[in-house]
Structure 1
């Protein structure tokens, strides 16, 4: 199984440092995330990432994202949301939820 994305991990660590560990749980992948990915069968990987990123972006703490990514908040949130969405998709493929996503 692949390791967690380094930027995502840095975000999780920064949340923990700030006493916001419960916010990690909000974006950590759950069975519901994998069911949602399964329901998107037929869409391209890019479309799935975009849809997932829109949902994830609402759960990201902008100030922490800005600090971790090093760009203005709105850009940092979107960048981080896409990284998290790609991580979800990679995990879904590795767990057999979907196949051939990146081919």
Structure 2
């Protein structure tokens, strides 16, 4: 199973656990419900920014959507780079997301 498919499954899992609809999440990330179904089913891949918004909306840590070592900050330069990029994106998009949802 590839990483993107895992992310799609995690989005679906957490959405269902929080009793949210596909339409609600689609509106949150700014896509049609049809496109969202393709994202969740694995036909398309979520952008990191989408997963970040979904994680905040569902009050679920972003790290739970990605398999290790996506956020691991040691052992290799590549992993450190990915973790740093994720941190910068989280800081850029994390502020005010909950206010946009309300």
* Structure ranking higher on relative contact order (CA contacts 8 Å, 6+ apart): 1
Normalising by structure 2, report the TM-score. Answer: 0.30
